Structure 1
C-alpha cells in the first residue's frame, strides 16, 4: 500500500486509501484498487503507484501497451510508465462531477496486453473548501406587522454552498439589533436554514424600518462567508402568516411520466379572514430555471405537476422550494420543500464496446485463446442495468466474464481455415428490465492459415508404358497434386527420389521426362518414387510410386545358335542310306531378343541340294527326311534355312546346314578288297598297308559306335531341354499409360503384347506366375504380372557326328 497526502490551503484534504482486492479469476487476474485525492489537484499530481499496488513488472510495461480506460469523454488519469505512478491528467471538480452527492468516486480500468490482464479501480474525490456560500440575492425585504407578538418567526432564504461535509454551509450570523434574534435550524437532509425570531415587539410609530445583515458561514479553515442585506418594513394589519401542514413533502415519479402528471399537493392554512386568509402558492424566488421547465405549480390548489421530460440518468433527485402568501396588505409568507425522487425505467439499451480484437487467429490456436475483449454498459439502474451477453450459436467461440460488465471472446474448439476462413460473430447484449432491451455487435474474426495439410495426389501410384528406342527428352507422365492450404503452404514442388540420370521431373508442374533412349532388351522396368512437397514451415510431403515399363519393338532379327554361323569349322550331320521318311536329322536352334510376336520365329527351307529329300518344321526348326534315303542319292547335301520373326517389319536371317549321306565302313572295306597283290619287292609294304587298314577299320568301328552312343544320349538330352524350355508369359495387361517413344506422345491404353517362346513357337501359355522386378539399372531376370517383356532362355543344341577327316 502506498500513502500519499495532498495538502491545499495548508489543510490536509485527501490521502491515498489504496487497498488491493482480488476477485474473479478466469482468463486473467483482475483486481480492484482504490485511492483518494482532493479535488482540484494540479495536473501531473501522483495518485498512487498503481504498478506497485498491482504487482506488475515495471520493466515489461512499455511492451505490454498499458492504458487507462475511464467512462465519459475525459481522461482524468494516466500512468507514468517510467515510475509506475497513476497521475492526474485533467482538472477534477468534485461539484461538477457529483454535485451534492457524497462520497464522490471516479471509476477507471487498467488494461494490460501480452498477456491480457484487466484491473479496475476507483479514486475518491475529496472535497476542498473552494466555494463560497451564495444567497439567491444580495437583498431581502420583509414586511412585518407591528401587531406581531414576540416570539414570531420569519424564515429567511437560505444560502447555497456546493461544497459538502464540513466545507458546506454550517451556520448563520445576524448583525446586532434590539428586536430580532437568529435561530439556525437543521433540516432532515442536514442542510441549515435561519429564522428571524422577534424578541421585542415592533412599534411602527417608533421605527418604520430596520436594516439587518445576515451572514452565512461554512466550516472551512478559514471559513468562507456570504452576506445579504435584510430590509424590514413594519406595517400594520395582517398579523397571521400562512402555515404549511408539513415543512417537507416527498414524492416518487417515474422518469417516463407524461406531462401533467400530479407529483404532490402542498397545503397551507392562514387563521386570518378575508383576503388576509387567502393563500397563493408559488415557487421560491431562487428556484432554478431547470426546475421551472420540468414542473408546474397551481397557485390556487398547490398541485405540483410534471411539465417536461424527466431523465433519471441526468438527475435522480429534485429539491423544490415553494412558498405560500396570503392576500393581506402585508402578506404573510410560509416556505416548504418538496423532494421529488425520479424512479428509473428501462429506457436505455445496453451498449457494447469492443476494446481489443486479435485477428487473424491462427487455425492451430488452442481452445481458450482470447480473441477479443468487450465492455458492456447500461445507463439504467438496478435490474434495468444488469446486462447479459450471448454469442451466435453454431460457431467455435464462446463468451466468458470474470469482471462485471467485461467479457472475453475465446475459441471454444479447434479452428480449420480450410472449412471456414472467417467468422462474422454476433454479440447480443440484453438487460434484465421489463420489457428487456438489447443491442447487437458484429465482430469479424479471420482465421490465418497453418501448414496442416500434406499434398494429395490423384493416384497413389502410376504405371507408365514406354516404347523402346524412344526419343530422349519426351514427357511421359504428369503427376497432379493439390493442397488445401493457402499461399506458400499450398505451393507445391516435385522431386525424384533415387531416379538416377534416366528420368527428370519439372519441379513446378510435376511433368516426368525421359532423358535417354530405352532398350526393352536391356531393362524392362524402372521403379522410382516422386516426392510432392509444399512450401510450409516445416514443409509437408507426400510420396507416390511410379513404375515405367519398356514395351518391345521389333528391332532384333533372329539369332542362330546352332549351327554356329561365321566359324571356320565345318559342321556336318551324317545320316545313313535307307533312313526312312520322317526321321529327324538335326535341328536349327535360334532365339530372338524381342518379345511377343516379335520373337515368334518361323523356319523355311530356302535352298537345298535335293529339295525333295529334306523338309523343315515351320515353327520348330527341326529338319526331317522327306522320303527314304536311297544309295544313289547325292552323298553331300547343303541346306539353307530362312528364319523370320513375326514383327512389323519382319526381320530375318539364314542358317546353312551340311548333311552327309554315307556308310563309311562299307565303302572303305570295298576299296580294300578290289586291290591286287604286289610283287615280292612290295610284300612288306602290302603287309603294313593291310595292318593299317585293319587298325583303321577297328578304330573307325569303335569311333562310330562311340559316336552313335553319344549322339543318342545328346539327342535325348536335347529333347528334354527343348520340352522343359517352353516359356510362359504374363497375362494380358489392363489399361495403362503407354508412351509411343518413337513417334512421341501417348497411344491408346488397349495396346498390349502376348509373347511366345517354346521349342515349338506355335505352342505357348499365358504367364501364370507373378514376375519380380529387379532394382533399377540392373538386367531384368523376371517380370511382374501383367507387364510386357520377355524372359529368354537358350535351350540345348543338336549333336552332330564327326567327319572321317576329324577321326583321322
Structure 2
C-alpha cells in the first residue's frame, strides 16, 4: 500500500469516527446509544461507562434493577453494576453474526425501574482482519487444448474472505511460468475471479502437464493469504465454455419449504459436441451452514432443500455454482436465496421483573411484574397483543412495543384472597395466529393493620392484704387478627408511679401469658388501691398496641391492734394520775380514753370496757366514746385513790385489744395530789421537786388541750364550705362508712366517709400535741345506712378516725 492510499484510509477512518460521535450525541437525547467496537475483542474489555453515558448514578444500577436485554443467541455484552463499565462478555465474530453484510449491528435494550425507562443501545461491529482467504478447492484442474491461441482466458475458482473492505481479498498472484499469466474477471456483483491467461502456444509433445501455485492476498495488516495448486493438462482442442443464462440468480424461498423441494434448476449450455459438451454441476463455494441445507444434482443442475430452513437463524444464503464441460472448461454463476418468513414462532413471554408477593396495603397501581414479549417472526407475524385473566384485580399496561407492566387495579385484602394465580396470554397477528400463556402465583403478604384487642374494657382485681409475694392475681388476654409475627402479642406494664414508687415494685406481668403477679405483700393501711395500664403490643413493624386499665383493690384484714393515744399507757407498770374534785357529782366526766386502729371498716370499730375497777358503782365508761364518768356523787367514805384498767378492743375477727391503767385521785385541789404521788412505791423521795413540776406540767397541758380543742371547733364551724367536717352520732350507733372500691368488697374493709381535724395529747407526761391531718376527697355517695339516725345537735362529742372521741 502506497503512502497516498494510507493517507486516504486514515482520512476515511477519521470521518467515520466523527460521524459515529455525532450519531451518538443525537441518539442519546432520545434514550438511544450507539457504540462502535471491533470484533475479536478480549472478554472483559471495557467499551465505555454505560451509567455515565445514560446519565445514571452507579447506585441506580442495582437499586433500580438495571437490565440488559439482547435478542441475539449469545450475550456478547454485559455491564458491571459496581462501576457502570460496559464490557465485552463473549467472543465477537462478525462473520458469524452478520455474514457478509456490509454493516453489522447488535441491538440491545436497557431497562431500569422506579421509574421505568427504556434505552436502545446499538453496537456496531467493525471488521478486523481475522480471516485468511480460503479457496474452495486445494487444487484446480485445467485441461487446455494445445491449439488454444495465446491470450486465452481460463477461469479459476475465486477465494473467499469473510472480512470486509481492505481486509478482504485484494489480489491474486501466480507462480512464474513463461507460458501462463494471471488475470482477473469481475462480475456484475463486483466479485473477482482469477483467470489463467495463456501467454504463448502450448506444445503437448514438449510438455503435457503444468503445476502452478495460485496465491490469494487480502489487504489487512498484517496481510493474510492462502494458496491453491493449479494443475494444467494439455489436451486436444476444446474451444467453447459452458454458459449460464445469467451471472446471478435471485430466489425467494419460504422458510417452511419441504425437504427435497427444488429451489432452482440451473441449465448451462455448451456449443461443443461430444464429451466437450457434457456439463457437470457442483458448488464451487458455499458456506458451511448452507451446505447443510442445500444440495445440487451434478447432472441436471437441480438445487434442492436438504434441511429445515429457519428465517430467524438466517434470512439469506449465497452460493457459487460451477459448470464444467467434458473438455475441462468451467464457468460460474451466483445463486442468492432470500428466505421468506412464515408465522412459525409463538410469542415469547419473558418476565424480567416479578414480585412474588406484595403487602395487602399496596396502593392500586403497584407494579407486580415487568414483561418482555418478543416474537421472532417479522412483519405482521411479529405483532403481538396481550391480555390477562383477572381484569378486576389487575391491569396490563403496554409500556412500549415489547414491554408490559402488570399492576394492581384495586386494593388487596389478604383475609379475603391470600393469593392469586395470574395468567397472561399473548397472541400474534399471523395466519393462523399463535399464542402463549404465562401463569404465575402472586401471594398477598400480611401487614400489621390490626391492633390487639383486650377481652375486657378494664379489669378490677380484689386481693387481701398480707398476701404472699409472687402470687398471681389476674390474667389479661388480648387477641390480634393479623398472622405470624404481626399477631404475636407481648404484654407489658406502662411505667407509672404509685405514691412516688414505681408501679413495677408492686406488680409484674408475664410478657407472654399476660398473668399479673404481686411483687410484694400489700398493706391495706399503707395502700388501699392503685391502678395501672397494661399494654398489649404485637410484633409487627411498626408494632401496634392497645392499653387496658387494671385496678387493684386491697381488702383489709384485722392485723392491727388498737393503739391508745390518750392517756399514754404506763411504762414498767407505773400508773397515770387523774384529778377528781371532791365536789364532783354524778355524770362528772373524769377522763376520756382516746384510741385509734390502723385498720378500716368493722376492723376499726372500737369499744371501751372497764377491765378492772375497785368500785363498779362509782365509775362507768361509754363503750363507744371512751368517756369515763361518775355514776354517783363522791362520798366521804370512798377511797381517795382509785386505779382503773381500761380495755380497748376492735370489732375484727379475731378481735384485737389493748389496755391502759389509770390512777384517779380525789382531792379538793392540786396540792392534795402531791402526797398521793409521793406515796407511790416506784417514786423516790429524793425526786419530790421533780414530781411537783410534773403535776404542774400535766395541769398546764390539760388546760392547753381544752383551749386548743375549743379553738379548733370554732374555726371549723366558721368554714361554710365544708359543713360535713364534723358529725355527731348517737352513742349507741356505730360510725357510718363509704366504699373505696366497688361494693363487691366485704363490709370488713370499709373506710370512713369523712375527714376530721383532731388535736390530742399523745402522752400526759409530754408537753406535745399531735395534729391529725384531714383525709381529703373521701367519697360520701356510698354510705352504709344504719337503723339509728344521726344526731346533729349533740356538740358534746366529735367522732374521729377509728373511734377517737375528744371531749369539748
1:13–1:128 Cα contact (<8 Å) kept: no
Aligned equivalents of 1:595, 1:550: Cα separation in 2: 12
1:34–1:123 Cα contact (<8 Å) kept: yes
2:275–2:327 Cα contact (<8 Å) kept: no
Aligned equivalents of 1:544, 1:85: Cα separation in 2: 60
Residue 539 of structure 1, CA deviation: 6.0
Match of 2:434 in 1: 436
Aligned equivalents of 2:338, 2:111: Cα separation in 1: 37
Aligned equivalents of 1:454, 1:734: Cα separation in 2: 33
Aligned equivalents of 2:35, 2:151: Cα separation in 1: 51
Write the mapping of 1:560-709 to structure 2, written as runs, cut at 5 A. Answer: none
Q: 1:97-122: CA deviations, max 9, x gaps?
A: 43312322345677899999876534
2:187–2:247 Cα contact (<8 Å) kept: no
Aligned equivalents of 1:383, 1:44: Cα separation in 2: 39
Are residue 338 (structure 1) and residue 335 (structure 2) matched? yes
Match of 1:321 in 2: 320
1:93–1:306 Cα change, 3 Å = closer
Q: Structure 1: which 5+ residue stretches go unaligned?
A: 1-6, 558-567, 575-591, 601-644, 653-719, 736-749, 758-776, 801-808
1:384–1:433 Cα contact (<8 Å) kept: yes
Give secondary structure in 1 for the equivalent of 2:494: strand
Residue 206 of structure 1, CA deviation: 9.8
Match of 2:99 in 1: 99
1:215–1:225 Cα contact (<8 Å) kept: yes
1:398–1:410 Cα contact (<8 Å) kept: yes
Residue 165 of structure 1, CA deviation: 2.5
Aligned equivalents of 1:779, 1:90: Cα separation in 2: 93
1:346–1:437 Cα contact (<8 Å) kept: no
Match of 1:506 in 2: 508
1:392–1:425 Cα contact (<8 Å) kept: no
1:497–1:530 Cα contact (<8 Å) kept: no
Match of 2:127 in 1: 127
Write the mapping of 1:162-173 to structure 2, written as runs, cut at 5 A. Answer: 162-170=162-170
TM-score (norm 1): 0.56
1:109–1:527 Cα change, 3 Å = same
Aligned equivalents of 1:49, 1:522: Cα separation in 2: 79
Aligned equivalents of 2:356, 2:380: Cα separation in 1: 34
Residue 123 of structure 1, CA deviation: 3.4
Match of 1:186 in 2: 187
Aligned equivalents of 1:778, 1:408: Cα separation in 2: 77
Aligned equivalents of 1:94, 1:792: Cα separation in 2: 119
1:120–1:508 Cα change, 3 Å = farther
1:495–1:507 Cα contact (<8 Å) kept: no
Q: 1:47-100: CA deviations, max 9, x gaps?
A: 445554344567999999999887666665666978x76566766443344331
Give secondary structure in 2 for the equivalent of 1:95: helix
Match of 2:476 in 1: 479
Aligned equivalents of 2:81, 2:471: Cα separation in 1: 73
Q: 1:436-460: CA deviations, max 9, x gaps?
A: 35364758889697x7654432222
Match of 1:530 in 2: 534
Match of 2:673 in 1: none
Match of 1:699 in 2: none
Write the mapping of 1:192-341 to structure 2, written as runs, cut at 5 A. Answer: 192-194=192-194, 216-220=216-220, 226-228=226-228, 229=230, 231=232, 233-236=234-237, 240-271=240-271, 280=280, 282-287=281-286, 290-299=289-298, 301-325=300-324, 330=327, 333-341=330-338
1:511–1:799 Cα change, 3 Å = same
- Greater relative contact order (Cα < 8 A, sep 6+): 1
Residue 163 of structure 1, CA deviation: 0.8
Residue 44 of structure 1, CA deviation: 7.1
Residue 233 of structure 1, CA deviation: 3.2
Are residue 456 (structure 1) and residue 453 (structure 2) matched? yes
1:223–1:336 Cα change, 3 Å = same
Match of 1:545 in 2: 549
Deviates more, 1:404-413 or 1:313-322: 404-413
1:532–1:288 Cα change, 3 Å = closer
Match of 1:4 in 2: none
Deviates more, 1:177-186 or 1:129-138: 177-186
Q: 1:527-548: CA deviations, max 9, x gaps?
A: 4433445577876542212344
Q: 1:739-762: CA deviations, max 9, x gaps?
A: xxxxxxxxxxx9999x9x9xxxxx
Residue 160 of structure 1, CA deviation: 0.7
Aligned equivalents of 2:69, 2:783: Cα separation in 1: 78
Give secondary structure in 2 for the equivalent of 1:34: strand
1:172–1:184 Cα contact (<8 Å) kept: no
Q: 1:245-299: CA deviations, max 9, x gaps?
A: 333333333444332233223333445667766655x322544565443223344
TM-score (norm 2): 0.56
Aligned equivalents of 2:297, 2:784: Cα separation in 1: 117
Residue 307 of structure 1, CA deviation: 1.9
Give secondary structure in 1 for the equivalent of 2:135: coil
Write the mapping of 1:653-802 to structure 2, written as runs, cut at 5 A. Answer: none
Residue 303 of structure 1, CA deviation: 3.2
Give secondary structure in 2 for the equivalent of 1:243: coil
Give the superposed CA RMSD: 7.5
2:48–2:85 Cα contact (<8 Å) kept: yes
Q: Structure 2: which 5+ residue stretches go unaligned?
A: 1-6, 562-577, 587-596, 606-649, 658-727, 753-772, 798-808
Are residue 33 (structure 1) and residue 33 (structure 2) matched? yes
1:172–1:215 Cα contact (<8 Å) kept: yes
Write the mapping of 1:338-417 to structure 2, written as runs, cut at 5 A. Answer: 338-344=335-341, 345-347=343-345, 350=348, 352=350, 354=352, 380-381=377-378, 393=390
Residue 39 of structure 1, CA deviation: 3.4
Aligned equivalents of 1:302, 1:208: Cα separation in 2: 31
Give secondary structure in 2 for the equivalent of 1:493: strand
Give secondary structure in 1 for the equivalent of 2:95: helix
Aligned equivalents of 2:155, 2:403: Cα separation in 1: 52
Aligned equivalents of 1:79, 1:68: Cα separation in 2: 11
Residue 148 of structure 1, CA deviation: 8.0
Give secondary structure in 2 for the equivalent of 1:459: coil
Are residue 493 (structure 1) and residue 492 (structure 2) matched? yes
Give secondary structure in 2 for the equivalent of 1:163: coil
Aligned equivalents of 2:245, 2:785: Cα separation in 1: 126
1:781–1:202 Cα change, 3 Å = same
Residue 342 of structure 1, CA deviation: 3.0
1:167–1:213 Cα change, 3 Å = same
1:793–1:440 Cα change, 3 Å = farther
Q: 1:654-697: CA deviations, max 9, x gaps?
A: xxxxxxxxxxxxxxxxxxxxxxxxxxxxxxxxxxxxxxxxxxxx
1:295–1:397 Cα change, 3 Å = same
Match of 1:603 in 2: none
Match of 2:765 in 1: none
